[in-house]
Amino acid sequence: MRNAPTLYRALADELAAAIARGSLPAGGRLPSVRSAARQRGLALNTVTAAYRQLEDRGLIEARPQSGYYVKSLLPALRDPLRALPGDAEPASVEMRDLVSVVLRCQQREDYIDLALACPRGEIFYPGARLARVTASLLRRQPGIVTRYALPPGPVRLCEQIARRAMALGMRLAPEDILLTHGAMEALQLALRAVCRPGDTVGVESPTYFNLYPLLASLGLHALEIPTHPQHGLSVDAVEMLLREGRLAAVVAMPTVHNPLGCTMPLAAKRRLAALVTQHRVPLIEDALYADLQFEDVPSPAVKSFDSEGWVMVCASYTKTLAPDYRIGWLEAGRFGETVRQLKFASSIAESALLTEAVGLFLESGGYDHHLRGLRRRYARQLDRVRGLIASRFPPGTRATQPAGGFLLWLELPERIDTLQLFHAALAEGIVIMPGVLYSSGARFRHCLRLSCCHELDARFMGAIGRLGELASALHAAASPQA
């Protein structure tokens, strides 16, 4: 029999799912604690704990002498993103400096980081278990640190990556997998293998903010492609650009997109794979967050539909397992030999000790257990933060309903400039990511990204509440009546 904590969490998750589907509509009354306990054969304390967890997530509220009711939910972004005028404006020096400011503040304990997608805290990583595996490996093979780590590197980890890729529909050969220094090096190697300076690369809009400086450093031009907050990259737009011969490559996150959290429908993924194959233009598929899908049956990668090697897929273990180990990987399809040569010419190989330790940890099954708990935690945290946003941010605020991961994309009323909000929050020790960083222009200046990958303690939640107050003040100051 399941224990009480498992029972109350299961009940809370079941009711949260019913609220998300609309089966329990906003304003509807939940059964009383006593009635729910009797109907489900549960203890009163179990139902009470479940209702309290739903309150913490911002999904229900207790009304004195009346009971529990479903709260009005924060509107989800179900329509195409609103792009404001000025989307052709080039990024200013201030925009480029924003990331440096964020990085500096993120290192200081007196600032609260709502910005970077860098989980912090032991609850998000199996650090102690991984440390034991690494220490044991070093005791058994002390000479491992006295040898050069030459390609192809430890076979064990590549075999584990290939085995795990099957859950995403991919059939990868371990010998075709290249270990990299995080996902960023994988992206860089893939771009260098298929593009030349002056080429144009299709990217999602909005897209991961660090992709723009990466492309610029390689002399490449970004061409932004509309991306829907629920359906992902516009495949119609990709097809038009491919027919016109305007793209040398496409970079996309079809599964749990950063910053929108969406996953492309299966038919769209299949069609995208067919299009890049037909036009012989490589797709670089960033699967960094694919392991954090909330669905019990994960959506397959676009790579799973690749028949001729035109899809290159990469990911890393920095978000889920060991950020400091900086272990990523790339399967480059028909460009495999080229990326292997580029890797050897740049950084040669990854640490034998660290890659072997991660391979052993994956082999033990500990990673799968860790991921199951992590997905549940992030789903609960996103629900809870969305509930707080609904009550503290100005009317008209909308937010994504992510399919996985820990990121929220907020679209605020158009009068609010989130660059102004960034500076107002920074003055109070709160760091956010304004929407202007996720496009080459100013089209998302009324948007921002929040990272929900920290413990939701009073300090963190207080910062989000205060951010909502600052946004409301900016909204009031910019209103016609002001």
Residues 6+ apart with CB under 8 A from 84: 414, 442, 443, 444, 445, 446
Q: Whole-model pTM?
A: 0.87
Residue 22 lies in a domain: yes
Core vs surface per residue 77-89: b (16+ CB within 10 A) or e: beeebebbeeeee
Question: In degrees to the nearest 10, what's the CA dihedral of 274, 278, 281, 282?
Answer: 40
Tell me the pLDDT tens digit for each residue of 96-152. Answer: 688 888 888 878 889 999 999 999 888 999 999 999 999 999 999 999 999 888 887
- In a shared domain, residues 139 and 270: yes
- In a shared domain, residues 191 and 299: yes
User: Residue 119, Cα to own-chain centre: how many angstroms?
Assistant: 11
- In a shared domain, residues 297 and 309: yes
Choose one of 367, 392, 420: the last residue of a domain.
367
Strand partners, 249: 201
CA 358/CA 232 separation, integer angstroms: 31
pLDDT above 90 coverage of the chain, percent: 76
**C-alpha dihedral sign at 309, 312, 313, 316:** positive
**Which pLDDT score, from 0 to 100, does residue 102 have?**
87
CATH code at position 390: 3.90.1150.10
Decide: residue 416, CB within 10 A, 0-12 exposed, 13-18 middle, 19+ buried.
Answer: buried
Decide: residue 116, CB within 10 A, 0-12 exposed, 13-18 middle, 19+ buried.
Answer: middle
> What mean pLDDT is reported for the chain?
91
The percent of the chain in helix, strand and coil, each rounded to the nearest 5, is: 50, 15, 35
CATH code at position 149: 3.40.640.10
**Which pLDDT score, from 0 to 100, does residue 93 have?**
45
Choose one of 367, 396, 426: the last residue of a domain.
367
User: Residue 79, Cα to own-chain centre: how many angstroms?
Assistant: 20
CA 98/CA 60 separation, integer angstroms: 37
DSSP string, 373-392: HHHHHHHHHHHHHHHHHHHH
DSSP, collapsed to helix, strand or coil, labels residue 85 as: coil
Angle at CA of residue 123, ends 142 and 112, nearest 5°: 110
- In a shared domain, residues 133 and 103: no
Tell me the pLDDT tens digit for each residue of 240-292. Answer: 999 999 999 999 999 999 999 999 999 999 999 999 999 999 999 999 999 99
Compute how many other C-beta atoms are within 10 angstroms of the C-beta atom of residue 61: 14
Residue 321 lies in a domain: yes
- In a shared domain, residues 207 and 97: no
- In a shared domain, residues 360 and 227: yes
Q: Angle formed by the axes of helices 366-392 and 458-478, to 10°?
A: 40
Residue 167 lies in a domain: yes
- Determine phi and psi for 366, rounding to 5 degrees: -65, -30
- Owning domain of residue 31: 4-70
- In a shared domain, residues 248 and 318: yes
Choose one of 367, 388, 410: the last residue of a domain.
367
- In a shared domain, residues 341 and 398: no
Residue 77 lies in a domain: no
Residue 85 lies in a domain: no
Residue 79 lies in a domain: no
Residue 189 lies in a domain: yes
Question: Tokens 């709502």 appear where?
Answer: 114
Strand partners, 468: none
Least confident of 70-84, 108-122, 371-385: 70-84
Contact 68, 51 (CB under 8 A): yes
Quick check: 65 pLDDT over 80? Answer: no
Quick check: 10 pLDDT over 80? Answer: yes
